[in-house]
Amino acid sequence: MSDASFKFEKHQRSLMERLFEPPAIGKMSPVAKVVAYTFLAIWSVFVLFPIYWVIITSFKDAAAVNQGPFYIPFVDFQPNLDAWRAQFNDDRFCDIPAIGRQLYLLVHNSFAYIVSPVFSITPMEPQICKIYLAFTNSVVISIAATALCVAVGSMAAYALARMTYRPKFGNILVFVLLTIGVIVVTTYNGVPWWVSTAVALALFFFFVRSLGKHFKMSLRNNDILFWIISQRILPPIVVVIPVYVMFQAVGLLDTHLALIVLYAVANLPIVVWLMHDFFVNLPIELEESAQLDGATRLGIFWDIVLPLTRPGLAATTLLILVLNWNEYLFAVFIATVKVQTMPIMVAAKNAGEKGVFWWEMCAVIVVMIIPVIIMAILLTKFISKGVLQGAMKG
Amino acid sequence: MADDQQQASVKFDRVQKSFGSVKVLEEFNLDVDPGEFLVLLGASGSGKTTALRILSGLETPSGGQVYIADRNVTDILPKYRDISMVFQSYALYPHKTVGENIGFPLKVRKVEKDVLNTAIVDAAKQVQLENLLERFPRELSGGQRQRVALARAIIRRPSVFLMDEPLSNLDAKLRGHMRAELKHMQETLGITTIYVTHDQIEAMTLADRVAVLEKGVLQQLAPPEEIYNDPANLFVAQFIGSPPMNVIRGSLEGKNFLTNGAKVKTPVTGKVEKGILGVRPEDCSIAPASSKALNGTIYTTELIGDHALVTVDWGDDQIAVKAPKDFKGRQGDKIGVVLPSDALFVFDETTGYRIR
């Protein structure tokens, strides 16, 4: 080997080598640093400028928007509170007690809904300014839907990660055929639904216990997981009309419950998929040890598994929360009046006869993004590293 | 302590286990006496851990029955078997303190708070951890984590202890120390213990009886000294002992073992075409080359400390001999190896059976 390939001292390197070679393992060369930070700086402008633009636009008036573009407040244009007044002052229900009224309305209407099978209480009509209503609707719907979705989804993911399922193709086929049969006889032959369902269930269990044992081909856990994920491949626009018809049939259009259930179901595949990965990677000895120590399965899930997957759980929750908070397509169909959410409110600023009220739209957008930022900051505290440290080995 | 403890027997009755087409355990029979310290010894893949996991209930056998205290537990959930287990990886709950880890088995049984706290302190004292109860596992050393796992196992006073290579993640010095502590603790508590290891020294030092497993088959079940002095077959003979037993190929004719042109008198009689002569290094001795010894050349000499280990080339085989520590032979020297006629074992090479 020639001497030139060994450089024991730094000053022996040429200028080009010093520019292009990293000074140590795990560091970047000067040129790479310049390239990387330039790229990051440009990218940051791309990401941050729209937020800046939304904020300053919310303080512009019609003239400042239409004669624009004006970039710097107080220099290019004189900021004013017109757009904000339009949201809060010009609405005759918008005052401080409105917040209390809105909270009372929520409690009253929820109570009315819960007791509705026993006796009926007239739900209160919202007497509140639109932005409060949309904001509280968004908060209630996205938090409830996220909680439901993450709870059900992570339990399903844990089951798929730790238990063995072998549903047989033959049994699945029989189940589908019986379901079709129930629909046909109920719809066209006038058989009461509970009769047909009971008969079909009895037939199904009889079949599974007798002939079903002889089937060989079966699905595995991974097939079930893929089946669940595949539900998310379907574009929501495809199902939105059937979903509308379904909620209309059961009389749940324009209710919180409809949107909560819909959002939870729509995001379930994402939760199952993400959480499955976290659960599978947990060392199984911890759960086995807890089993021997006498813990129940639910106890292990609560006491051992969930605390150890807290970072993953927090990240998943944040993602679903943001997806629910921003959801527009389902909301525009299901939430017609009473349960309008923030995205609907933003879009509504586009629908006036006098053109688009960009300044008002931006004010609503600012209101809409603040909670997301707060939520992200709160939840990143849970996304800490090294939870599993000390569990295994020495 | 030992007398108020309920001691349980353990019995494997023709237990089988296969994963797909791979047979891990074949017709495994084992009786463990109440209060016994039994070591399951075997190389990796011998089925020893599978046997332990079947006993714990974490694995279901493909066939056969398992009994604890004469109760058939084959189809019973792990938590109803009254056992506790120490895992190789310790399996401590990283988000719980040492005290919470130790108390976990009682906490899930809804034991009252003050009883629980006394039990935690008691168990911690037995493993000298009473000052570390507030720490988290990540703040402990390997040996301390091992003790937490032990304390968690003893707090409940189970009928049977299961240990799956509990010492293999510790460094050599600590391992020796913990071994002695473990033995002392088992003797004090008198709880039936089943201990899985691949380390023959652990097996020899800890066990009341050793069960040697290979390829899912029990090779020998005997007290340590019998395993060492009277191995049942070639596998056991080679597995136990450090350095391992010498293996010299040849044939047995009558009382004589013919190898590499030499004739060795053996304590057994028979005729085996392909035979193996086994002899332990410490039973052999070094002598000047002569007609009474097996004469070979020195392959290498290693000074161990209290003795020197001399490896001598003998035909296609090598013979290791424990020589005095002042032995001065060098590589390539001609040397004689004297075999004792009363400490020789003869095996059939094809079957591995011992010729008696």
Q: Give the number of beta-carbon pairs within 8 Å between A and B.
A: 84
- Cα–Cα distances in Å, from A57 out to A49, A54, A132, A255, A350? 12, 5, 21, 33, 15
pLDDT tens readout for residues B309-352: 999 988 888 899 998 888 888 888 888 888 888 888 999 888 88
| DSSP symbols for A202-243 | HHHHHHHHTGGGG---B--HHHHHHHHHHHHHS-HHHHHHHH
Yes or no: say if B347 and B353 are a contact pair by the CB < 8 Å rule: yes
Compute the radius of gyration of chain A from its Cα atoms: 29
Please report residues of B whose CB lies closer than 8 A to that of A220: none
Q: Quote the minimal CA–CA distance from A216 to chain B in Å.
A: 16
pLDDT tens readout for residues B84-134: 999 988 899 999 999 999 999 999 988 899 999 999 999 998 888 889 999
Cα angle: B11, vertex B15, B19; to 5 degrees = 140
**Res B196 pLDDT > 90:** yes
* pLDDT at residue B294, rounded to an integer: 84
Q: Quote the minimal CA–CA distance from B107 to chain A in Å.
A: 9
Q: Nearest residue on chain B to A295, judged by CA atoms?
A: B108
Mean of pLDDT values over B34-38: 92
B92–A308 C-beta distance less than 8 A: no
Please report residues of B whose CB lies closer than 8 A to that of A394: 90, 141-143, 145-146, 169-170
Q: Quote the minimal CA–CA distance from B81 to chain A in Å.
A: 8
A286 closest CB neighbour out of B93, B141, B156 = B93
A394–B145 C-beta distance less than 8 A: yes
Residue from A292, A298, A389 whose CB has the most chain B CBs within 10 Å, to mutate? A292
A285 closest CB neighbour out of B87, B95, B136 = B87
A291–B141 C-beta distance less than 8 A: no
Listed as ranges, residues in chain A with pLDDT below 50 are 1, 393-394
A299–B104 C-beta distance less than 8 A: no
Yes or no: say if A160 and A224 are a contact pair by the CB < 8 Å rule: yes
A288 closest CB neighbour out of B58, B108, B136 = B58
Please report residues of A whose CB lies closer than 8 A to that of B142: 393-394
- Stated pTM of the model: 0.82
* pLDDT at residue A299, rounded to an integer: 92
B170–A285 C-beta distance less than 8 A: no
CB-based contacts of A70: which residues, under 8 Å, 6+ apart?
A60, A64, A76, A77
Task: Return the exposure string of A267-296: e unless at least 16 CB atoms fall within 10 Å of the residue's CB, then b.
Answer: bbbbbbbbbbebbeebbebbbbbbbbbbbe
By the CB < 8 Å criterion, does B87 face chain A? yes
**Res B274 pLDDT > 60:** yes
Mean of pLDDT values over B193-197: 94
B95–A392 C-beta distance less than 8 A: no
Q: Nearest residue on chain B to A388, judged by CA atoms?
A: B94
**Res B291 pLDDT > 80:** no
* pLDDT at residue B270, rounded to an integer: 84
B104–A394 C-beta distance less than 8 A: no
* pLDDT at residue B177, rounded to an integer: 86
Nearest to B67 by CA among B15, B108, B22, B113: B15
Nearest to B86 by CA among B170, B26, B3: B170
Among residues 41-60 of chain B, which lie with CB inside 8 Å of chain A? Answer: 56-58
* pLDDT at residue A321, rounded to an integer: 92
B109 closest CB neighbour out of A288, A294, A390 = A294
The span from the CA of B141 to the CA of B159, in Å, is: 29
User: Could you tell me the pLDDT band of residue B4, with boundaries at 50, 70 and 90?
Assistant: very low
Q: Nearest residue on chain A to B91, judged by CA atoms?
A: A286
* pLDDT at residue A352, rounded to an integer: 66
Yes or no: say if A283 and B91 are a contact pair by the CB < 8 Å rule: yes
A391 closest CB neighbour out of B79, B94, B152 = B94
User: Strand ranges (DSSP E) for chain B?
Assistant: 10-19, 22-32, 37-41, 63-68, 71-72, 83-86, 160-164, 192-197, 209-214, 217-222, 246-259, 262-279, 285-287, 294-303, 308-314, 317-323, 334-338, 345-348, 354-355
Cα angle: A46, vertex A52, A58; to 5 degrees = 140
